Amino acid sequence: MKSTLLIGLANLLRGIGRRMIERIWRLGAGARLFFLTIIYSGESFRRFHLTLREIYFTGVMSLLIIIVSAFFVGMVLGLQGYNTLQKYGSSEAIGVLVALSLVRELGPVVTALLFAGRAGTAITAEIGLMKTTEQLSAMEMMAVNPIARVVAPRFWAGVISMPILAALFSMVGVLGGYLVAVPLIGVDHGAFWSQMQASVDVREDIINGVIKSVVFGVACTMIALFEGFDAPPTAEGVSHATTRTVVISSLTVLALDFVLTSFMITV
Amino acid sequence: MDRTTIDLWVGVFVALGAAALLGLAMKVGNLTSNKLGDTYSVSAAFENIGGLKPNAPVKSAGVVVGRVTDINFDSKSYEAVVTIKIDKRFEFPKDTFANIYTAGLLGEQYLGLEAGGEDDVLKNGDKITQTQDAVVLEKMISQFLYSKASETDPKTDAPASEKNSGDAKSTELGDAPF
């Protein structure tokens, strides 16, 4: 009786330890893949059409979902902001509210979350399936480095696409907020834009938003690439890897957002 | 898919991104409204600047004529030294008055310039000597209460006038200068 309890306890501890070691191992392997990608990324610029192709699949194909969701996010911000601001008689400040929340936070973060769901999963599934069907091994047999040929172009495509998508998200969101605030509710057109321009700083708000989106682009793309590269070569393995891509990317983006914001906002 | 089609779409994508960034900078941000042109710097010392921040507007007659560039503490005179830059198009007399005002009841603080009457104008590196500090609400309230207390004290000493003094107090509060 007593010995079974002890064995159970030992197994529990062993399980926790194994999971921890696996997590740390994955972190190290991911970091190694990241450095290898940087080292072998010369190929993706010499043969730039490889990267362009990936920009098409990760960036251009994500345009629709980004623009539509940005439009709705902006309109909701307009409605909710007006609802609260008019209680204090300052409904003209709605432009400031919409622009600052989009440019500083929602633009980069929501774009990164959508990007992880739309492009990150595609990258993981594609590379996982390449591994399952032994295409990556075949490349190695032909003395083609799969990191230079497959991973690096996708990495740079993600890093280039993310800031563009985030900037589009912010701009379309502001237009959505404008559409709700000015023609629909009747906030003054001039006050909407002039108050926005008075309080949105190009360096402190817009450039910081772009910096955030570049960091999120690196994180999301790298996680998706690593999960695909690391997936067990089975159908189940690829499906698990795809799920993990979304979960880990989302958590990383939200955690990184806090860290970056705390650097950027000087209290 | 054809390589030229991909190139075209990626070109459209990048152009859209550039347009969005430009739109953010021009329409949403303050890239266009922050232009001051050529400026000259002037400093002014205040005993209390309240909540004045760098980059706050400098206004004269309500028009933005410059910006606050720097705020420092002078450890010899124990005063705040505010450096401002004013657009070269606007010239102010040497005896210009610098005040710190608040936009609205709770708005941001800005520096207001009231032109004096002298013929000489302020030049780069000059110092504005006539300044008025920011209004600190707590200070004002405590001053008011202190003056009220000193006014009502002798009345309460006098006998049989308790009712009167109470009435007088309430009317005096109503006629308060702010």
H or E segment and range at residue B15: helix B3-23
In the DSSP assignment, the letter for residue B93 is B
Would you call A172 and B20 a contact, using CB atoms and an 8 Å cutoff? yes
Q: A132 to chain B nearest CA, in Å?
A: 24
Instruction: Report the residue from B6, B19, B29 with minimal CB separation from A56.
Output: B6
Distance of alpha carbon A34 from alpha carbon A190, whole angstroms? 48
Query: Residue B177: what pLDDT?
Result: 52
CB contact under 8 Å between A197 and B17, yes or no, is: no
Interface probe, candidates B10, B53, B106, B110, chain A, greatest A C-beta count within 10 A: B10
User: Is A52 within 8 Å of B10 when comparing Cβ atoms?
Assistant: yes
**Residue A135 corresponds to which tokens in the numbers above?**
């295409």
Nearest to A110 by CA among A182, A53, A62, A78: A62
Chain centroid to CA B136: 13
pLDDT for res A180 = 93
Annotated domain spans of chain A: 31-255
Q: Domain ranges for chain B, please list them.
A: 1-28, 39-137
Q: Chain B interface, mutation test: which of A50, A51, A52, A64, most B Cβ atoms within 10 Å?
A: A52
Determine contact: A179 vs chain B, CB below 8 A.
Answer: no
A164: nearest CA partner in chain B: B17
Question: Which SS3 state, helix, strand or coil, does residue B62 take?
Answer: coil
Beta-bridge mates of residue B41? B85
CA-based radius of gyration for chain A: 23
Candidate from B14, B24, B32 with C-beta closest to A170:
B24
HEC profile of chain A: CHHHHHHHHHHHHHHHHHHHHHHHHHHHHHHHHHHHHHHCCHHHHHCHHHHHHHHHHHCHHHHHHHHHHHHHHHHHHHHHHHHHHHHHCCHHHHHHHHHHHHHHHHHHHHHHHHHHHHHHHHHHHHHHHHHHCCHHHHHHHCCCCHHHHHHHHHHHHHHHHHHHHHHHHHHHHHHHHHHHHHHHHCCCHHHHHHHHHHHCCHHHHHHHHHHHHHHHHHHHHHHHHHHHHHCCCCHHHHHHHHHHHHHHHHHHHHHHHHHHHHHHCCC
CA dist B49 and B44 (Å) reads: 11
**Directed axis angle between helix A48-58 and helix B3-23, to 10°?**
60
> pLDDT 10s digit of each residue in chain B, 178 long?
788 888 899 999 999 999 999 888 888 877 655 566 788 899 999 888 888 888 788 888 888 888 888 899 989 989 899 999 888 888 888 888 898 888 766 667 888 888 888 888 888 888 888 888 887 778 888 888 888 888 766 555 555 544 454 444 444 455 545 5
Collect all residues of chain A within an 8 Å Cβ-Cβ radius of residue B1: 56
B85 with B41: CB under 8 angstroms? yes
pLDDT digits (tens, 9 = 90+) for A160-208: 999 999 999 999 999 999 999 999 988 888 888 888 888 888 888 899 9
Whole-number pLDDT of residue B33: 55
pLDDT of residue B166: 47
| pLDDT tens sequence across A14-24 | 999 999 999 99
**Count of alpha carbons within 13 Å of B124, Cβ hemisphere only?**
5
CB A244 within 8 A of CB A136: no
Please report the sign of the dihedral spanned by the C-alpha atoms of residue B100, residue B102, residue B108, residue B113: negative
Please, are residues B55 and B82 in contact by the beta-carbon 8 Å criterion? no
Chain A residue with CA closest to B8: the answer is A56
Closest by CA to A60, choosing from B9, B22, B26, B25, is B9
- Kindly give the pairing relationship between strand B79-87 and strand B39-46: antiparallel
| Amino acid found at B122 | L
Task: Give how far A125 is from chain B: nearest CA, Å.
Answer: 20
Contact A171 B25 (CB under 8 A): no
- List chain A pLDDT tens, one digit each, 267 residues: 678 899 999 999 999 999 999 999 999 999 999 999 999 988 888 888 889 999 999 999 999 999 999 999 999 999 999 999 888 878 888 989 999 999 999 999 999 999 999 999 999 999 999 999 999 999 999 999 999 999 999 999 999 999 999 999 999 999 999 999 999 988 888 888 888 888 888 888 899 999 999 999 999 999 999 999 999 999 999 999 999 999 999 999 999 999 999 998 875
Per the structure block, which two tokens stand in for B127?
């110092």
pLDDT, position B147: 87
Kindly give the pairing relationship between strand B97-102 and strand B109-114.
antiparallel
State pLDDT tens for residues A124-142: 999 999 999 999 999 999 9
Contact A128, A238 (CB under 8 A): yes
What confidence score (pLDDT) does residue A72 get? 96
The gap from C-alpha B107 to its chain's centroid, in whole angstroms, comes to 9
Nearest-neighbour CA in chain A from B26: distance (Å): 8
